[in-house]
Every structure is written in structure tokens, then in C-alpha cells.
Amino acid sequence: MTEENIKHEQLIIIGGGPAGLTASIYGARQGVNPLVLNGPEPGGQITTTSELENYPGFPEPIGGFELTQKMTQQAQNFNVRLEFESVETVDFSDDKDRFYIKTDMNEYTAEAVIITTGAEPRTLGLDKEDKLRGNGVSYCATCDAAFFKDQPVAIVGGGDTALWEATFLAKFASKVYIIHRRDKFRGAKILGNRVKAKENIEILWDTEVKELVGDNKLQAIKVINNKTEEETVMEDVNGLFIAIGHKPRTECLDGFIETDDGGYIITDKHQRTNVDGIFAAGDVQDPDYRQVVVAAGSGAKAAIKASEYIEENSDTLSETENIPVQPIPKEKAKADEKNSDNKSKDDNLNLTLNID
Ligand code: NDP
């Protein structure tokens, strides 16, 4: 690609989950005309959550997908542009006045960048784990629980996710085994008490999955008690859910951004990374909370600081296309939201991200 084909932007946001969409809304309102590089699938991890009970402003639970749809609509109301492009490489050297980003379709430079690429589920690293993914092995109970109606399933992990998902699975499955490698949960006491109170949940302490049985479909699992070393084949388990934490998505950053031992981007309280002008928000820099409201809050902070950065550095930067933000009139926004509500009721699996 020649120099003329490189698109120059003020603010690029990599990732279109709650952190990225919130950053885009704030960035647009600050007048820095953000471009969201969303990857091939919109919405991030939250779209796989069936119900959120703890996002403020929604007294009734709201679906993760529906919440993303509303955030997207709100971003569209401020003329935010979303592109379904995956970032392949970057050059975030701080000796240049612009940051370079190459996607599977385009090349860009940006005055500031916000990274909101999220985190993906960790795997156990067992033979056949990858092959059986989607064929009995799942990393998302809220997505796949319904496939195991009235069947026994197992879930690995002892954190909040495993405990919450075990309770969710217990609504569908005939029996849920929680397989945890220690004799104490890591997750919140209230969630631990909840699973202990469920009649169809059984906890296998000090236990690890040793083997997945089955070629094209999970047929059983072999587990081992790590204290007694006793091995058991659980022949009734055709569904295995793995909830052992998440891995931040930072591969495309080519090592330019500092991370901690867990691979999470290190930021200060203003969401600044080690490179001036590069910010990070959401799960990619948050090993602790993994809450939508926290991700959204950090997205807002990142956008405010990124906008300030762009303004402070604007004198030193060469000509940048600065399309003024034109918030749509309130009446139109309301009408759009109403249409979107009706549409989501009719067609809840059809997230609309097209930008006029
Ligand atoms: P955590 O890191 O908290 O827990 C991971 C669990 O998996 C631990 O019990 C760990 O065991 C176990 N584990 C890790 N690796 C392996 C392995 N290789 N084999 C077997 N077991 C393994 O992750 P979560 O996803 O549960 O939670 C992450 C964060 O998100 C937490 O801060 C949590 O509070 C938050 N969260 C909050 C929710 C909420 O509604 N408030 C819901 C979901 C998550 P061990 O304990 O031995 O280390």
C-alpha cells in the first residue's frame, strides 16, 4: 500500500465491546471523531452473556447482546464509525508523531489509540480440547447450557465465573459436577453457598480433568483426585464447561505495550499505557473485575484522556481530517431507539452495526 492510501485518523479504538463502545461515545462527544476497529464479531465477550442483573439503569435483567446493541445505537447517534476489521500489526514506537495500525483490509495512522481488545477464555491444554470445542467442550455456559437439557455436565474452576455458571447450568442440566483443583473456592462466599445449596450440584474437591474421551464428540471425562491420585472415568458427562479464567488479547500489539505477568496491559489510573498517546481500557487491562460497568467506566476515562492528549499535541501533528461531530436531534435519537427496541424484540440475534 502506498503512503496515499494510508488513512489518517485522530483516535482509533481497537475493539468494540463495552469499553470500546463507551470510549467511542465519549471520544465523539469530545470531538475527536473516533474510528472503532471492531474485529469480525461485534460486541465482545459480553454478547455471550444471556442476562446482566447488575448493569445500572436496568432494573430488569438485560441481555448482553441487547446491551451491546443499545451501546452501538448510542455510538451511532454520535456518528461513530465502526469497521469490521482485524488488527494484524501495529507500530507504536514513541519516536514518531503518529501511531501506525495495519488491519486485514486497511492501513491507518492515528494521533492516539485506545486498546479495548478484551480477554478470551483460558484452556486446560488437554489433548483433543481444541478438537472437541463445540462438540461437548464449551467455555461459555450462558451460550451452551441449553444444549445439555436434562443431561449431566461438569464445570471446571472455583472462581466466580465457575460458581455463577454452575448455578446457571443447574437450571438446565440434570446434574452439575463442579471440578475444582483445590479444597476451597476462590470465588465469592455468597456464590459458593449458592452452589452448595443446590440439590443437583455436586462438588468434586481436589480434582482435575486428566483426559477427554471421545473423537468427534465428548463421550466421557477422566478425572484424578490430586490428593489420593485416584482416577475416575465419568461416563455420564458429555458436556464439559471450562471456566478457569481469561487471557487478555494482546497478540496484535507486537510487544509495544507493557503487560504484567498475566499478560494484562499495565495502565495508570488515567488508563495510560507505557507509550504516550496509547491508552487501554476494559478486560485487556483488568485482571480483577471483568464487569461491564467497570469496562465501560474505564473506556470513558481512556477517551477523555485520549482526547486531551490529541488536543495538547495537535500543534505538532500534521493535517488531520477533523470531521465535526453532529449529534442527531433528540427526537430522531428517541425514534431510532424505539425502532431498535422493536427490532431487537423481533430479531434479537441480528445486531445492527451499519453506520449511515
Ligand atoms: P479466576 O481467576 O477468579 O478463577 C479461576 C479459577 O480457575 C480458580 O478457581 C482457579 O483455581 C481455576 N484454575 C485456573 N487454572 C486452572 C487450571 N489449569 N486447571 C484447573 N483449574 C484452574 O477467574 P474467573 O473467571 O472466575 O473470575 C475472574 C474475575 O472476574 C474475578 O475477579 C471475578 O471476581 C470476576 N467475576 C465477577 C463476576 C460477578 O458477577 N461479580 C462474575 C464472573 C467473574 P485456583 O482457585 O486453585 O487458583
Measuring from atom 39 of ligand 1, which residue has the nearest CA?
Answer: 160
Quote the crossing angle between the two packed helices 292-313 and 64-77, to the nearest 10°: 20
Does the beta carbon of 64 lie inside 6 Å of ligand 1?
Answer: no
Distance 58 CA to ligand 1 centre (A): 26
**Nearest CA, atom 33, ligand 1:** 160
Q: What pLDDT does 25 receive? A: 98
53 CB less than 6 Å from ligand 1? no
The CB-based long-range contact list for 122-129 (8 Å cut-off, 24+ gap) reads 122/242, 122/244, 122/245, 122/246, 122/247, 123/242, 124/156, 124/209, 124/242, 124/244, 126/209, 126/210, 126/211, 126/212, 127/211, 127/212, 128/212, 128/214, 128/215, 129/212
Predicted confidence (pLDDT) per residue in 7-18, tens digit: 999 999 999 999
127 flagged as catalytic: no
Q: Looking at 144, 252, 283, 286, which residue is catalytic?
A: 144
Catalytic, 143? Answer yes
Report the pLDDT value the prediction gives residue 24, as an integer from 0 to 100: 98
Determine if ligand 1 sits within 6 Å of the CB of residue 245.
yes
Is any atom of ligand 1 closer than 6 Å to the C-beta of 31? no
Q: Which three cell numbers stand for residue 330?
A: 433528540
Select from 137, 139, 186 the residue to mutate for testing ligand 1; criterion: most ligand atoms less than 8 Å from CB. Answer: 186
Predicted pLDDT of residue 2: 65
* Cell numbers linked to 9: 485518523
Q: Residues 104, 140, 276, 286: which is the catalytic one? A: 140
What pLDDT is attached to residue 342?
Answer: 43
Q: Which amino acid makes up residue 343?
A: K
Best residue among 51, 244, 292 to mutate for probing ligand 1's pocket (most ligand atoms within 8 Å of CB) is: 244
Asked if 221 and 233 touch (Cβ cutoff 8 Å), the reply is: yes
- Report the C-alpha gap between 300 and 277 in whole angstroms: 15
Residue environment code for 13-46, b if the CB has 16+ CB neighbours within 10 A, otherwise e: bbbbbbbbbbbbbbbbbbebbbbbbbbeebbbbb
Predicted structure pTM score:
0.74
Looking at the DSSP bridge assignments, the partners of residue 16 are none
Other residues' Cβ atoms within 10 Å of the Cβ of residue 8: 14
252 a catalytic residue: no
Report angle CA 169, 170, 172 to the nearest 5 degrees: 70
Whole-number pLDDT of residue 180: 98
- Our answer on whether the CB atom of 121 is closer than 6 Å to any ligand 1 atom is no
Is the separation of the CB atoms in 274 and 258 below 8 Å? Answer: yes
Cell numbers that stand for 43 in this block: 460486541
Strand partners, 36: 13, 82
The dihedral region occupied by 255, where left means phi > 0, alpha psi between -120 and 50, and beta the remainder, is left
Spans of the chain, pLDDT less than 70: 1-2, 42-43, 45-51, 315-356
Counting from 1 in the atom list of ligand 1, the atom nearest the Cα of 158 is 9
The protein residue whose alpha carbon is closest to atom 4 in ligand 1 is: 159
pLDDT at 321: 46
Helix (H) or strand (E) segment spanning residue 209: strand 207-213
3-state secondary structure of 300: helix
